């Protein structure tokens, strides 16, 4: 079963990931890399797999080009999960059943050199004014492609290619919570203070991870995120820290 291709010409592979997990590898569906079309497929899988697998399914973990299927070993096994996915592949991968993004989340961002210490350097790198850089960053609608690294850290894609910026050669030992950052063509908000190697453009005063909330995160894989520029006074009013 390891690396087994689905039939009917659908270039999706099923791989054994652990004793209680299978990985749906969707890489071949996106030869040009992750994008909106593949995200539609991922969203459909997130909707359909729980219906297909029932209470044997413990968790789905979607990422850029894969979905990890974690199951209850007391109720099913790799072979049964594999057989169910193969038998339902027409439903799982039919374009007309593919779901659109769940919701749009607007995140306020205070773009400034005091909240985004790399703002000026990134603008200079791309021969842009600071205002042009801000407009290019907040002018995009970003999809959540994965959540990881830290609880609430959402990998958002993709930035305008004109501001694609390599990661820092030497990561910072500490990045402030709420920092809005870019690396290559990805952007993200650091939900908590942590080390980090991304370029910092500003800060978002809205908490992005709360263990006491339901849900604990304001977004999920497939959602759309937009950044809304705010002034310093509004940033502080919303609880931002400088």
Taking only the tens place, the pLDDT of each residue in 1-13 is 455 555 556 678 8
pLDDT-derived band at 204, boundaries 50, 70, 90: very high
Instruction: Indicate whether 67 pLDDT > 70.
Output: yes
Pairing relation of β-strands 224-229 and 104-111? Answer: parallel
Distance between CA 242 and CA 240 in Å, rounded?
Answer: 7
Look at 127 and 99; give whichever has higher pLDDT.
Answer: 127
Task: Delimit the domains of the chain by residue range.
Answer: 4-97, 104-237
**Consecutive H or E run containing 81:** helix 78-87
238, 108 in Cβ contact below 8 A?
yes
Six token digits for residue 112? 């400034």
Which of 34-38, 98-102, 125-129 ranks highest by mean pLDDT? 125-129
Residue 204's CB is within 10 A of a number of other CB atoms, namely 24
pLDDT at res. 99: 54
pLDDT at res. 36: 77
The mean per-residue pLDDT over the stretch 189-196 comes to 96
Contacts of 239 (CB under 8 A, 6+ apart): 205
Q: What is the pLDDT of residues 145-188, one digit of tens each?
A: 999 888 889 999 999 999 999 999 999 999 999 999 999 999 99
Distance between CA 136 and CA 128 in Å, rounded?
Answer: 10
> Quick one: what percent of the chain has pLDDT higher than 90?
62
pLDDT at res. 46: 85
Residue 22's CB is within 10 A of a number of other CB atoms, namely 22
Look at 44 and 130; give whichever has higher pLDDT.
Answer: 130
Give the fold, CATH level 3, of 104-237. Answer: Cyclophilin (2.40.100)
Instruction: Indicate whether 38 pLDDT > 90.
Output: no
Contacts of 220 (CB under 8 A, 6+ apart): 102, 144, 147
Look at 231 and 64; give whichever has higher pLDDT.
Answer: 231
Dihedral angle, C-alpha 202, 204, 208, 210, nearest 10 °: 120
17, 27 in Cβ contact below 8 A?
no
pLDDT at res. 162: 97
pLDDT at res. 88: 87
Burial of 131 (0-12, 13-18, 19+ CB in 10 A): exposed
Contacts of 102 (CB under 8 A, 6+ apart): 43, 220, 222, 223
Six token digits for residue 209? 């991870």
pLDDT-derived band at 116, boundaries 50, 70, 90: very high
Cis peptide before 88 (omega within 30 of 0): no
Length of the chain: 242
pLDDT at res. 72: 96
Pairing relation of β-strands 57-62 and 13-18? Answer: unpaired
Contacts of 94 (CB under 8 A, 6+ apart): none
Mean pLDDT in the chain? 89
| Range in 49-53, 57-61, 86-90 the model is least confident about | 86-90
pLDDT-derived band at 87, boundaries 50, 70, 90: confident
194, 185 in Cβ contact below 8 A?
no
- Quick one: DSSP state of residue 56? G
Reported pTM = 0.83
Let me know if domain 4-97 sits in CATH 3.30.1360.40.
Answer: yes
């Amino acid at each position: 079963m390891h690396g087994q291709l689905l039939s009917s010409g659908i270039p999706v592979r099923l791989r054994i990931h652990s004793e209680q997990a299978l990985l749906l590898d969707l890489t071949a569906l996106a030869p040009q890399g992750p994008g909106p079309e593949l995200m539609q497929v991922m969203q459909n899988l997130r909707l359909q797999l729980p219906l297909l697998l029932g209470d044997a399914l413990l968790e789905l973990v979607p990422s850029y080009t894969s979905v990890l299927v974690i199951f209850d070993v007391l109720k099913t096994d790799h072979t049964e999960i594999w057989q169910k996915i193969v038998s339902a592949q027409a439903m799982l991968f039919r374009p007309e059943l593919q779901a659109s993004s769940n919701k749009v989340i607007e995140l306020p961002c205070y773009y400034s050199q005091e909240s985004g210490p790399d703002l000026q350097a990134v603008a200079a790198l791309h021969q842009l004014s600071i205002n042009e850089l801000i407009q290019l960053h907040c002018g995009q609608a970003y999809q959540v492609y994965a959540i990881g690294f830290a609880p609430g850290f959402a990998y958002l894609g993709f930035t305008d290619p004109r501001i694609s910026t390599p990661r820092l050669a030497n990561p910072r030992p500490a990045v402030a919570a709420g920092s809005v950052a870019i690396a290559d063509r990805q952007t993200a908000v650091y939900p908590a203070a942590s080390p980090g190697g991304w370029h910092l453009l500003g800060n978002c005063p809205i908490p992005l991870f709360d263990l006491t909330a339901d849900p604990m995160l304001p977004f999920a894989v497939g959602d759309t995120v937009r950044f809304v520029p705010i002034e310093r006074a509004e940033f502080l009013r919303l609880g931002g820290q400088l």
